Every structure is written in structure tokens, then in C-alpha cells.
Chain A
Amino acid sequence: MRPVHYLRCLAGIVTREGLRFLNQRGRFFSALVRPLVWLAIFAAGFHFVLGVSIVPPYETYVPYEVYIAPGLAAMIQLFNGMLSSLSMVYDREMGSMRILLVSPLPRWFLLTAKLLAGVIVSVVQVYVFLAIARIWEIEPPWYGYVAVLPALILCGLMMGALGLLLSSAIRQLENFASVMNFVIFPMFFASSALYPLWHVKEASLVLYDLCQLNPFTHAVELIRFALYGRLEPVSAAVLAASTIVFLALAVYGYDPARGLIARRTAE
């Protein structure tokens, strides 16, 4: 297999993911509505309750809507990563995963390509969200929209890799509900998405440490800083390291000789 075969395979997987996304209009709609509901209702309600003092990268007091917008962008990617994981479990139960896994290209490449395809879909969703969010006067500088692209790619990779890892560990589709309870909600709430971490620190030091360890916090901060044209290097490093660890574990999980898939009974 030559590099051109790898490229064609990647293009095929990305095209399929894009077509599936376009065909499932409900998925696109709900992916957009979810953060907009948070922005329109939750943020409006908390507008006067939660005071956000001046925290970097903001140079002045910002409305609560502006503060939570990066967290909602990251939430889109978190849900997207987990939904990709759900679709992998579905594909496996329904059999179409087998078509992917009997490709002659190496399994690590197939899984990475699947991951990249999901990331592209999630990045498109975030840009549509950011465009609509301008209605709420969430208006980062124009270069912020450019600078946020690599941040979104890295965040999407991290959350997609986590989704892949979970999909290799989830035995049945029904177990996916527990992913909501034990992964999505804790990751989202124990992060800087909804409140600055100094607020959390005042409430509980343990929770503050947990938030600091949560890779989702770093995703939110990387996006927040990037939207204002600034790089948050610690967050970038944490996300890169998390992506590598999650992806390596996922590839292990899908390895027929050693991983979790191999331990399952088939008949």
C-alpha cells in the first residue's frame, strides 16, 4: 500500500462521515440547538447571578454569554466525540464496523482516519455555532476565527480519541447511557466551561484540582484564548498528551490479538 492509497482511504472515510451527517439532519439540528439553548436560556438566567471578573484573555468585564461561549463550542465537540463513539458501537453491533476493519490498511490508520472525519464534522458545527452566536454579541476579533481553527482541531482530536477509547470498551449500545452520566456531565461541569476556576477554588480545593486535571478544562481554555488570538501552551500540551494516550489505548482496544474486542464472545 502506497501513500496515495492511504489518502484515498482517508478521503473515503471523511466523505462517508460527511454524507452521514448531512443525511441525518436531526443530528445537525440538535448539535446546534443544544449550545444555543444554553446560550439563550441558561446564560440569560445566570447573567446577573454569576459575576465574572476580569480573567485572561479578556481585558475587561465581559457578559456571561461571552464567557461561556468557548465552553459551549467545546461542548459541541464533546458531544460530537461521544456521538462518534456511539456510532462506532452501533456500527459494531450492526456489522458495518467489520467493513472498515477488513480493509487492508493498518488498523491504527483506519481508526485515526475515522477520528479525523469526526473532527472535521465537529469543526464545521462549531463555526456555524460561532456565526449564530454573534446574535448574542459574541464577537471575537476576526483573527480569532482563524486562530481558533487549530485549537478546535486539537480539541476535536482529544474528544474523538476519548470517544474511540470508550467505544472499544463499551460492550453494548445500551451501556451508552452511562457514558452520559459518567463522562459527559462530569467532564462538562468539572471544568471552566460555565464558571472561572477561581470561583471553584473558593468553594473547594479538591474540586479545583479535579477541574485542573480535566482535559476538557484545557480544551475550553485553549479555545477561549485562541478566539482572542492567544495561545495557552499548557492547555495545548495537556490536550496533545491526552490525545496520544487516548488514541494509543483505543488502538490497543481494537487490536484483535490483545485488545478488549478480542475478549468478547461472538456466538
Chain B
Amino acid sequence: MLTPSPAAALSIEALGHAFGPKRVLNGVSFALMPGDFTVLLGLNGAGKTTLFSLATGLYAAREGTIRVFGIDLRAHASECLRRMGVVFQQPTLDLDLSVEQNLFYHAALHGLSRREAADRAAAEAERVGLGRERLAKARRLSGGQRRRIEIARSLMHRPRLLLLDEPTVGLDIASRQFLLDHVRRLCREEGIAALWATHLIDEVGDGARVVVLHKGEVLAAGAAAQLVYETRAASMRAAFETLVREREAA
């Protein structure tokens, strides 16, 4: 199991949330270490988006604790948000603005100077292979390209923790693979911790860590290979199905 640690990039302890009488998260605990690529795996309605909304401060966490590099989100939201890059499930680019203008806007929201913003926009757009589209209107980009720019944007302020909520929804196979490879590379080469929420089991991949979320509860957390071994399953898909079946039977 991943255990909370003061050195963790993200540590979530006993997190719960309810919308009125409906409980959507219950006693959720897990942690991400720097450099970890962790997949938050769950079916639609498992509570992934609620967890993201709580971790980014869009909703206030009333039960449990969220810490970013040991800093309590509730007490020091600003310090936590500075260290965090976010890609939301919904597309959030301003389609009437150019790619560069979108990146500049984000940089300004994080207090970066114009020069820093220009340098980083050029570098990040280049890294996702869209350096030549910097002046194009976001509306003219394909779905996959828009997602790439959203990842570039989330890195503009050089966060050490990256939260991505179902970033590959609606994308073709090549775009999905590009995004996965890019984020995995960021984790491996730059030590960024990434939490990648998805319902697509084949995105887990080798060497990833997994947190299985089902109906608001963590069923298992750890290295993917370890989970497959512990459930005596033949694959991650079979391990996931076993975990869900056991919980439903309990």
C-alpha cells in the first residue's frame, strides 16, 4: 500500500465528501511520491472528478486531509496551488484566443512575468510538438492538439505535481499514446509526480502505480504488478474486475 508520508507530493488521508445525502467519497487515503506516475482507476461515477475538485480546492474538503508536499491544502491553499498543475476533464482552453494567448493567460494567473511567460510558452509548446501552432486560434486545433496544449499550459508555472482528470477522453489512439508517453517522461526525467485519472485500464501500463477507486472507496493501491500478483489475476483488467467483484459481494 502507498502510505502517507511527509515527503509525499500529494497525500490524501481519510478524505470523504457528500452531496446532500449522497456520499461520493468515503475514507479515501493514498499518497504520491515525487516521480510517481499513479493511475487513479475507476469506472464512471467512482468519485474521481469529485476527488480532483477537492484536491484542487474547487470544493472545500470537510472530511479528511489533503497535503501537497506536506502543506495542508485547507490552511494554505495558495502554497499548494502554486505547486500543482491541473488538466481538467472538461476542455478549458479559450477557443477564441490563440494558443500563445491561452498560455500567457495561465502564466499571468500564476504571477509570471511576460518574459518568463514567453520563454516558457515557446518551450512547452515545442515539447508537445506544437511550437509552430503557437499563433493559431485554439479553435483550429484538433481535440488531441488541444489536450496537448492543456498539458503544456499546466506546466507553465513549473509545478512538481500534475493532476490529470481523464485527459484522454474522446481522443484517438495516437493522441492518447502521445499524452501518456509525455506525462510518463515528465515523471521519469523531471521527477514530477502525476495523478492520472482514467476509466481505461489499458492506460495503466508497466511500472505504474495504481489506486483503484470504486463507489467512492479505495479498493487497492500499489504497484500495478503487485496488484495483479495479490489478486492472482492474469492481467490488470482481471485484477480490477476481481477487486470490484469482491467488493460488490461483501
Contacts and interface: CB of A to CB of B under 8 A. Distances in A.
Contacts of B69: none
B50 A256 contact: no
Interface stretch (A5-13, A74-82, A144-152, A210-218): A5-13
A60 B59 CA distance: 58
Task: Give chain A's interface secondary structure class.
Answer: helix
A170 B109 CA distance: 25
Interface string A72-116: 000000000000000000000011101111111110001000000
Contacts of A19: 96-97, 101
Contacts of A11: 108
A264 B59 CA distance: 10
Q: Could you say which interface size class chain B belongs to?
A: 35 or more
A8 B107 CA distance: 9
Nearest to A23: B96
A16 B78 contact: no
A20 B60 CA distance: 31
Contacts of B96: 19-20, 23-24
Given A12-B105, A12-B108, A257-B60, A106 B92 contact: no
B91 to A, nearest CB: 6
Given A98-B88, A102-B57, A266-B49, A20 B94 contact: yes
A1 B108 contact: no
A50 interface: no
Interface string A1-41: 11011101101110110011001100000000000000000
A16 B94 contact: yes
Contacts of A262: 59-60
Interface string B79-110: 10110101011111110110001001111111
Interface in B11-48: 19-20, 22, 24, 45, 47
B122 interface: no
A8 B24 contact: no
Nearest to B111: A5
A9 B91 contact: no
Nearest to A21: B96
A94 B106 CA distance: 17
Given A19-B97, A24-B96, A100-B109, A267 B50 contact: yes
B208 interface: no
Given A94-B90, A98-B92, A267-B50, A105 B58 contact: no
A11 B114 CA distance: 10
A257 B73 CA distance: 12
Given A95-B88, A98-B58, A266-B19, A105 B109 contact: yes
Contacts of B142: none
A2 B112 CA distance: 11
Contact of A96 (B45, B79, B92): B92
A178 interface: no
Contacts of B111: 1-2, 4-6, 8-9, 104-105
A102 B58 contact: yes
Contact of B78 (A1, A8, A20, A99): A1
A9 B56 contact: no
B108 A13 contact: yes
Contacts of B90: 94-95, 98
B5 interface: no
Interface in B49-79: 49-50, 53, 56-60, 62, 77-79
Nearest to B19: A265
Interface in A99-157: 99-106, 110
Nearest to B62: A257
Contacts of B97: 16, 19-20, 23
Given A16-B94, A94-B90, A102-B57, A267 B105 contact: no
A100 B56 CA distance: 12
Contacts of A101: 57-58
Contacts of B50: 266-267
Given A95-B92, A267-B24, A267-B49, A102 B81 contact: yes
Nearest to A257: B60
Among B82, B101, B105, which residue has the most Cβ atoms of chain A within 10 A? Answer: B105
Given A15-B108, A19-B101, A105-B109, A96 B56 contact: no
Shortest 6 CB-CB contacts between residues of A and residues of B = A12-B108, A5-B111, A95-B90, A257-B60, A103-B109, A104-B81
Given A4-B111, A20-B97, 16 more contacts: A1-B78, A12-B104, A12-B107, A13-B105, A19-B96, A94-B90, A94-B92, A98-B92, A99-B88, A99-B105, A99-B109, A103-B109, A104-B111, A256-B58, A256-B59, A267-B45
10 contacts: A5-B110, A12-B104, A13-B105, A16-B94, A16-B105, A19-B101, A95-B90, A101-B58, A106-B78, A257-B62
